Amino acid sequence: MSTTVSPLAPKHHPDMPAIGGVRLATAQAGIRYKGRTDVLYVAMDQGAAVAGVFTRSKCPSAPVDWCRENLKAGTARALVVNSGNANAFTGLKGRESVRLTAEIAGRAAGCEPGQVFIASTGVIGEPLDATKFEGVLAACDEGAGAGTWMDAARAIMTTDTFPKLATRRVMLGGVPVTINGIAKGAGMIAPDMATMLAFVFTDAPIGAPALQAMLQAGVRTSFNCVTVDGDTSTSDTLMMFATGAAAMNGAPFVANADDERAAPFSAALTDLLEELAQLVARDGEGARKIVTIRVTGAVDDASAHRIAMSIANSPLVKTAVAGEDANWGRIVMAVGKAGEPADRDRLAISFGGIRVATQGARDPAYDEAETSAYMRNEAIDIAVDIGLGQGAARVWTCDLTKAYVEINGDYRS
Amino acid sequence: MSTTVSPLAPKHHPDMPAIGGVRLATAQAGIRYKGRTDVLYVAMDQGAAVAGVFTRSKCPSAPVDWCRENLKAGTARALVVNSGNANAFTGLKGRESVRLTAEIAGRAAGCEPGQVFIASTGVIGEPLDATKFEGVLAACDEGAGAGTWMDAARAIMTTDTFPKLATRRVMLGGVPVTINGIAKGAGMIAPDMATMLAFVFTDAPIGAPALQAMLQAGVRTSFNCVTVDGDTSTSDTLMMFATGAAAMNGAPFVANADDERAAPFSAALTDLLEELAQLVARDGEGARKIVTIRVTGAVDDASAHRIAMSIANSPLVKTAVAGEDANWGRIVMAVGKAGEPADRDRLAISFGGIRVATQGARDPAYDEAETSAYMRNEAIDIAVDIGLGQGAARVWTCDLTKAYVEINGDYRS
């Protein structure tokens, strides 16, 4: 948790309502940090349908393995998240540590260990001493109430400079339901599950398979479209919990993601995920500018996405943005290296709506002074038209600054 | 051309002998830079067999297109290289500029334009005014002699902080032959033709198809194994010219790369290419440390190469090296994100021969103080054993420092 808040932090955090069936608590377990909370405990006493999307890393953390395994049963009673130690690459000890955490939490919540979901974020490779949760989680369960979501979002931060929260209220079968989400992540952020950790809760009565389908659909245009440094975490975890408490008010049970009554809910969920994903890009380590990259005219959407990610991950593009330089030559380079169909002589490139290149050369009308003035903005839009088809994509990233190097050269020390 | 030489620059540059059949000249055409040479002109009056390997960018520069096209005939009479302007993404004008350059050089050398090979390096997207070569190339041809290879290497530099030269003397059929190479490249350096520009000359009598085969074989373990920032240039060009002048001394003509008499030559060529590739990594923009990454135990060599490149391109690994932090957790992350077969619980990781992790966890014998002391070295070796098979690879990269961000945030201004 940095002492300097990113200049890209939102000016206001949303007011987060309570979610029926969800009790929150945070605590200081002293895992790594001093003088701050490092544990989030969430109890869902009547149980919740659960869905999850995880890192595609071939070397996932022990908690990721645990969640994947227990997701099959589809029911959650508790969530435990700690910051400071990722419990990744900790071998057999790591697996034992997760099991012990689940047992301690299960005793606190009065449920089976398999109904406890666990996420850890922080340093990789250090053994996590789960006995530190002993007592702490029981106290959490006793003290957990409607809780503050702000406290929850703060407890899971590592190098984040601001807490990340979003909320939506939407109608389901004529009944208002709520979706709350929190996220953390600032570095080691890449496609295929971008943020390290994000948790979404709703009181809507939605079955686990439908929840999983909606979550996966929402991830495509949100967390899978954000990158800070192209580095994929071992711990990336997005989980969603649906308590169904709104059924008491008459909200219908949604068993199938295609259920038409759930369409507004699904749209609101995607919207919330996009907001959280953007918050992650805004808190990119050392970021001073938030960059939106839109690719159109690719042969298909997947191709457009790969081109957009190639631009978003290019250190040369990102340093140019940091230097407030509309260096479209580097955009051409990044399009070219994506390996996707592209025709140099059809490319068009704009910064903030100012077209700088068209048909394979600098736009004759291009005004460098106008573009340079635009590049001084905090939010930078880059648009690339490939000129071949109808494929489109939009991704978010941030600039690459000296502060990124500073933060990541000193992280462990 | 930077005023501060990289601390990783070699202490001595090699003495480069003359190559029979090769005349060199450099000039100031005033393309972009002031007070330095920006043109290299090479005449091969009796002609030379020519081979080339180029960028895989889908948006290559106009000179790359020109060379690819003219390579088919297999004969070169002249090479023109300019620095300061890459003539990339310059549309129809760019193609005309290349043609005009070839015509001017052809008149100077007394050959067809199609026998002139051209490479350009520098800013992308700015039109290159080829009329600046008018007069300059004719004067080059008049003045070209045995020339100095140091001048040649200097004339093609852009953000390089030192010239890159290598030479080998090797026997071919009992007759000594020489191979000289020069290279430039410091940023926008990535696999699939890493350096932006490299040119190799020999007096050995080798046919174009054999030369092409040897060059492609040599690239695999040299330029395709070096990365500075993962960014692929639009202009990457490696060309080799064989004048055959050593035939006068009795060197046999090599028509086929499999010719056993050419084996030592082929090995010397690969060795020279590896030296040049390493020089490029040593001059990585802002580099303070040269990093060698060796991956063993992958399922096959291609898989090992992809894992090694994933490590070498990870901003988090590279900033950790800059911070002199043996952060093996980030190595695990980079192995995991490579998408190649890997088993977390079989990984072993060493820094400079000090094993820090084994069988999926920190090595019990690991001594952080010893490793930290090692990380203060200028040359850092990272070894990763995947524990699955026999696949191996070795790649070079450099650390990611604030200076990289500084150089690339200000390049155009």
> Which CATH number covers residue A213?
3.60.70.12
For residue A268, being part of any structural domain is answered with yes
> B288: which 2 tokens?
């303070």
Strand B354-358: give its sheet, edge to edge. Answer: B361-362, B354-358, B348-351, B379-385, B290-298, B391-398
Nearest to B123 among A57, A329, A347 (CB): A329
Q: Select from B181, B256, B258 the least CA-distant residue to B222.
A: B181
Angstroms from B412 CA to nearest CA on chain A:
8
Per-residue pLDDT at A229: 63
pLDDT for residue A110 is more than 70:
yes
Per-residue pLDDT at A191: 40
**Residues above pLDDT 70, as percent of chain A:** 94
**Highest averaged pLDDT of the listed ranges A106-115, A400-409, B79-88, B268-277:** A106-115
CATH assignment of the domain containing B343: 3.10.20.340
Q: Are residues B91 and B110 in the same domain?
A: yes
For residue A7, being part of any structural domain is answered with no
Band of pLDDT at residue A25, cut at 50, 70 and 90: very high
pLDDT for residue A327 is more than 70:
yes
For residue B8, being part of any structural domain is answered with no
Q: Which residues face A384 on adjacent strands?
A: A295, A349
Q: Are residues A274 and A367 in the same domain?
A: no
Per-residue pLDDT at B377: 94
Nearest to A333 among B90, B231, B332 (CB): B231
Find the domain containing A209 and state its range.
23-282
Choose, from B37, B55, B167, B195, the residue flagged as catalytic.
B195
B68-77: per-residue pLDDT in tens? 999 999 899 9
Mean pLDDT of chain A: 88
Q: Are residues B257 and B352 in the same domain?
A: no
Least confident of A5-14, A25-34, B185-194, B376-385: B185-194
Strand runs labelled E in A124-244: 164-172, 175-184, 197-202, 237-242
Q: Residue A184, annotated ligand binder?
A: yes
One-letter amino acid identity for A137? L
Mean pLDDT of chain B: 88
Q: Select from B166, B161, B128, B165 the least CA-distant residue to B39.
A: B128
pLDDT for residue A287 is more than 90:
no
For residue A41, being part of any structural domain is answered with yes
Structural domain count, chain B? 2
Q: Kindly determine whether residue A412 and residue B325, on different chains, have CB atoms separated by under 8 Å.
A: yes
Q: Which residues face A172 on adjacent strands?
A: A175
For residue A261, being part of any structural domain is answered with yes
Q: How far apart are CA B362 and CA B356, in angstroms?
A: 6
Q: Are residues B258 and B306 in the same domain?
A: no
> B121: which 2 tokens?
């390096």
pLDDT for residue B342 is more than 60:
yes
Per-residue pLDDT at B228: 66
The three-state (H, E, C) secondary structure of chain B, written as one string: CCCCCCCCCCCCCCCCCCCCCCEEEEECCCCCCCCCCCEEEEEEEEEEEEEEEECCCCCCCHHHHHHHHHHCCCEEEEEEEEEEECCCCCHHHHHHHHHHHHHHHHHHHCCCHHHEEEEEEEECCCCCCHHHHCCHHHHHHHHCECCCHHHHHHHCCCCCCCCEEEEEEEEECCEEEEEEEEEECCCCCCCCCCCCEEEEEECCCECHHHHHHHHHHHHHCCHHHECCCCCCCCCCEEEEEECCHHHHHCCCCECCCCCHHHHHHHHHHHHHHHHHHHHHHHCCCCCCCEEEEEEEEECCHHHHHHHHHHHHCCHHHHHHHHCCCCCHHHHHHHHHHCCCCCCHHHCEEEECCEEEEECCEECCCCCHHHHHHHCCCCEEEEEEECCCCCEEEEEEEECCCHHHHHHHHCCCC
Q: Give the list of residues 6+ apart from residue A195 with CB closer than 8 angstroms, or none.
A: A183, A184, A185, A189, A223, A226, A236, A238, A276, A277, A280
Beta-carbon contacts below 8 Å between A and B: 233
Q: Kindly determine whether residue B232 and residue A347, on different chains, have CB atoms separated by under 8 Å.
A: no
For residue A1, being part of any structural domain is answered with no
pLDDT for residue B2 is more than 80:
no
Sign of the C-alpha dihedral computed for residues A29, A31, A37 and A43 taken in this order: negative
Q: Are residues B41 and B83 in the same domain?
A: yes
CA atoms within 13 A on the CB side of A284: 32
Those of residues 59-98 in B touching chain A at CB distance below 8 A are: 59-60, 86, 88-94
B260-315: per-residue pLDDT in tens? 999 999 999 998 988 888 888 888 878 899 999 999 999 999 999 999 999 998 88
Chain A CB contacts of B58 below 8 Å: 335-342, 344
Q: Are residues B380 and B405 in the same domain?
A: yes
Last residue of a domain, one of A223, A254, A282: A282
A333-349: per-residue pLDDT in tens? 889 888 899 888 899 99
Residue B200 phi/psi, 5-degree rounding, is -125, 135
Last residue of a domain, one of B254, B282, B310: B282
A172-226: per-residue pLDDT in tens? 999 999 999 998 886 655 444 434 688 888 999 999 999 999 988 888 888 877 7
pLDDT for residue B410 is more than 90:
no
Residue A349 phi/psi, 5-degree rounding, is -130, 135
Sign of the C-alpha dihedral computed for residues A397, A400, A403 and A404 taken in this order: positive
Q: How far apart are CA A209 and CA A219, in angstroms?
A: 15
Contact B280, B183 (CB under 8 A): yes
Q: Are residues A101 and A46 in the same domain?
A: yes
Q: Are residues A338 and A405 in the same domain?
A: yes
Q: Does A48 touch chain B (CB under 8 A)?
A: no
Chain A CB contacts of B345 below 8 Å: 91
Q: Are residues A317 and A371 in the same domain?
A: yes
For residue B36, being part of any structural domain is answered with yes
For residue B223, being part of any structural domain is answered with yes
* Phi and psi based region of residue A74 (left: phi greater than 0; alpha: psi -120 to 50; beta: remaining): left
B109-165: per-residue pLDDT in tens? 999 999 999 999 888 788 899 999 999 999 999 999 867 999 999 999 988 889 999
> B223: which 2 tokens?
């330029």
Q: What is the mean predicted confidence (pLDDT) over A282-311?
A: 92
Q: Does A303 touch chain B (CB under 8 A)?
A: no
Q: Are residues A135 and A210 in the same domain?
A: yes
Q: Are residues A230 and A340 in the same domain?
A: no
Q: What is the mean predicted confidence (pLDDT) over A93-104?
A: 95
Last residue of a domain, one of A258, A282, A306: A282
Q: Are residues A256 and A384 in the same domain?
A: no
pLDDT for residue A354 is more than 80:
yes
> B326: which 2 tokens?
């043996």
Per-residue pLDDT at B359: 86
Contact B187, B227 (CB under 8 A): no
